Amino acid sequence: MSDFPSLLGGLFGAPEVDAVFTDTARLQAMLDVEAALARAQVRCAVIPPAALGAIEAAGRADLYAVPALGQATLLAGNPAIPLVKALTAQVRHTDADAARWVHWGATSQDIIDTGAVLQLREAVGLVQERLHVLCTALAVLADAERDTGLPGRTLLQQAVPVTFGLKAAGWLDALHRSQRRLQALYADTLVLQFGGAAGTLASLQARGLDVAQALGDELQLPVPALPWHTARDRVAELGSAFALLTGTLGKIATDIVLLMQSEVAEAFEPAGEGRGGSSAMPHKRNPVGCVAAIAAATRVPGLLSTLFVAMPQPHERAAGQWHAEWETVPEIVRLCAGSLAQVTVVVQGLQLDRARMRDHLDSHGGLLYAEAVAVTLAETLGKAAAHALVEQAARQALAQSRHLREVLQELPDVSAQLSSTQLAALFAPDSWRGMADTWINRVLAQR
């Protein structure tokens, strides 16, 4: 990607994560691997100590012209080949003897993959920090709104009462799982790639494992059991972790978009100058942050599929499948980070119309409490009979535009079991919260 922000970058990205994946950052990560390799080989007495200074001094991305390397990549097929040539030339300019030890024993994929792991490790850390901020905001919201009732909705229809605190706790619980997935990446996914031409490190002979261990130490990366040039489950796993987080953020955004509908109007994104307006309709308050998050959740699964399609790579080096990962993985991470930034702003500034939520609990003549009545009557009438009785009463209430409680009071089978006081209690907003508080407490206890 370009080192400069794009027209849409602010909508679908996050500046600090975007910066991790610029062309310059990619070059610097590869150069960092080359410098660390030289240090590791000096430690293992594979290359002379005198070569190290010149190699390290040449390991600055600003010494190299990205356009020229890009043009050379077009011919070479990967960016490491021209970069190693340019690095060798830069070292030779300072120390001709040191130049012969550049990239010693490594292959292009070692440098590209391990450089990518360095970039991804930084990006994972940034996303973890920002995800913690969102989780903290949702924990506050879940606790504060545990008594705020609103209609639960199934198949987009009003179902039974829930609380907004429970809804927020559900979002938070899913994000907790993403936190654990991201943390798990450090142990077995964000690992060193160092195998030489075909994974044997034969060029280093008996010193191969020693150099690999020293290189892992230098870069603070775990050393896997063996090189993983064409075993790409790690890449798919990392992409999946970010895709799952992006999907969860999209679910949060979808809920809020639906709550913002004019006919619902129970929750709103934060307002601000220039935020959510329309070029044609002055009255509009559009859910721009949520829309961006939903767009990311729509795009990422297609990108993730590329990583899974690329998994069956042939023999010891891929013929196109590996190459398909290079832009795909950063794009998944960038879209996820952008969605996270958008949803965090929305949640931190979320505005609730609690009065409208309460009104909606009774807006359909008490039909949301039909299940509560049916379950109570089932204790004496049996489940099937109670369900049929309340279902018939609900249809009558709708047909006559009456409150369900009034219709039920007139039914002998109901009045024989429930007094008017008992029946009225079943239609109280707080009467049918079930385990909502318990679930909220369990989620908050995971923090």
Can you give the C-alpha Rg of the chain in angstroms? Answer: 30
Q: Find, among 221, 235, 215, the residue nearest to 186 by Cα.
A: 221
Please write down the long-range contacts of 124-127, taking CB distance under 8 Å and 24 or more positions apart: 124/182, 124/185, 124/186, 124/190, 126/14, 126/16, 126/17, 126/20, 126/337, 127/17, 127/182, 127/242, 127/245, 127/333, 127/336, 127/337, 127/340
Contact, 138 vs 168, CB < 8 A? Answer: yes
Q: Give the pairing type, strands 351-352 and 157-163.
A: unpaired
What contacts 388, CB < 8 A, 6 or more positions away?
none
Measure Cα distances from 171 to 136, 176, 185, 251 in Å.
Answer: 12, 9, 22, 8
Q: Which two tokens stand for residue 163?
A: 């609380």
The catalytic residue positions are 278, 317
Within a 10 A sphere around the Cβ of 191, how many other Cβ atoms?
21
Handedness of CA 132, 134, 135, 140 (dihedral sign): positive
